[in-house]
Amino acid sequence: MNNFRTAFYTSLLIALISSAAQAQSRTWVSGVGDDVNPCSRTAPCKTFAGAIAKTAVGGEIDCLDSGGFGTVIITKSITIDGTGVLGSILAALSTGININLNNPADAAKTVRLRGLSINGVGTGINGINFMSAGFVSIEDCVIDGFTANGINVDTGTVFVRKTTIRNNKIAGITARSASKVGLADVALVFNDIATQGSSIQSIANVYLFGNRR
């Protein structure tokens, strides 16, 4: 009986520690991290996908150092920030960041992406694909080399600032009718089409060069 009780409380303690580790307000990734880690500053994760599972709704993932941190699916309000280092996503044959904010308990439905390099290496699908209503802010990013769109917005509100979008085969930005997109200090270069769709409503200091249509 004592052995059973000890095992039970040990399992409960492990579960509580694991639950706490999965709900940190700030987590960290590193080029030499490991996704089995708790994603703390002293024990960072390896990928954005590994860190997002351990980050609370409304929390933030930061890059400790330069690295390739992998593609990620975002289903809750969060910030991913690579400012100050090379926070890279290599997305061959896939989409760099999928955003689908479908949790009714997440009232904010807000995603912030800062300081990221998202590279499709000529075979990726979309750089950033936003599929659900909510708010996305994209700042100080480079999105390059996708077979579809640099940014694809099905529905929701997206603001893009100080970002370069280039070498994408369908369009730099596609904004469908249920969306609203604002651009400030954005460079759209060498895409087949700079932008398509009637939902780009606010434009300031947008630089267009070398787009084919």
- pLDDT, mean of residues 114-127: 98
Residue-wise pLDDT tens digits, 134-180 = 999 999 999 999 999 999 999 999 999 999 999 999 999 999 999 99
- Among 132, 122, 133, 208, CA closest to 173: 208
Could you tell me which residues come within 8 angstroms of residue 84 by beta carbon, excluding any fewer than 6 positions away?
A: 63, 115
d(CA 73, CA 58): 15
For the chain, the C-alpha Rg in angstroms (whole number) is: 19
**Does residue 195 carry a pLDDT above 80?**
yes
User: Contact 120/148 with Cβ under 8 angstroms?
Assistant: no
In a domain, 6, yes or no: no
Q: For 2-42, how does the pLDDT look when each residue is reduced to its tens digit (9 = 90+)?
A: 555 555 445 544 444 454 445 799 999 999 999 999 999 99
pLDDT confidence of residue 198: 86
In a domain, 160, yes or no: yes
Whether 88 maps to a domain, the answer reads yes
Domain count for the chain, please give it: 1
Burial class of residue 200 (count of CB atoms within 10 Å of its CB; 0-12, 13-18, 19+): buried
Burial label for 41, CB within 10 Å (0-12, 13-18, 19+), is exposed
37 within a domain of the structure (yes/no): no
Give this prediction's pTM.
0.89
182 in Cβ contact with 162 (< 8 Å): no
Q: What is the DSSP string of 79-147?
A: EEE-TTS-EEEE-TTS-SEEE----TT-SS-EEEEESEEEEEEEEES-SEEE-SSSEEEEES-EEEEES
Domain residues for the domain of 196 are: 62-209
The residues with which 118 forms a beta bridge, in sequence order, are: 89, 143
SS3 148: coil
Looking at the domain assignment, is residue 35 inside a domain?
no
Question: Tokens 């070398």 correspond to what residue?
Answer: 210
Q: Is residue 57 included in any domain, yes or no?
A: no
Report, as an integer, the average pLDDT of 36-53: 97
Residue 36 lies in a domain: no
Residue 48 in domain: no
